[in-house]
Amino acid sequence: MSAVLRDLEPEGLGHELLREWAPWAREDAEGGASWAIKPRVERGYHGDPPDRVMLVDKIVARMRTEHHNYYRVLARYYLDGLLPWQMEHELRQTPGWIRTMLLAGCGLVELRYKEVLES
């Protein structure tokens, strides 16, 4: 079982959406000026993020409060660039549990994204 979990990597629409979202979320956190507030006139302004990114940001914000375990793993993976085994000590969980939360979190982002598009 552990060999199977070790080979599972995030993929699919949820993973793609989070990869697209991460650079914008990182810039927002580091720059001190939020791209979510308009107009943003700070030096280094690169334009507003794509609509997809804004939607994913809302989904992730909701996950932060409703599914904190998913958010903790997603933030460390997509924003901090850590691998599951690198989060093990900080999160006090096994790499298998972390990988499961990562895959489930990607699936939840995809599900909520599709729900918004279909409504």
Residue percentage of the chain with pLDDT more than 90: 48
Decide which of 107 and 26 is more confident.
107
Handedness of CA 103, 76, 63, 53 (dihedral sign): negative
Averaged over 53-68, what is the pLDDT?
92
Q: Select from 76, 57, 59, 79 the least CA-distant residue to 67.
A: 59
- DSSP structure class, residue 36: T
What angle is formed at CA 16 by the lines to CA 10 and CA 18, rounded to 5 degrees?
Answer: 85
Name the pLDDT band for 6 (thresholds 50, 70, 90). low
What angle is formed at CA 78 by the lines to CA 86 and CA 62, rounded to 5 degrees?
Answer: 115
Per the prediction, the chain carries an average pLDDT of 81
| pLDDT for position 42 | 53
| pLDDT for position 45 | 54
Q: What is the pTM of this model?
A: 0.78
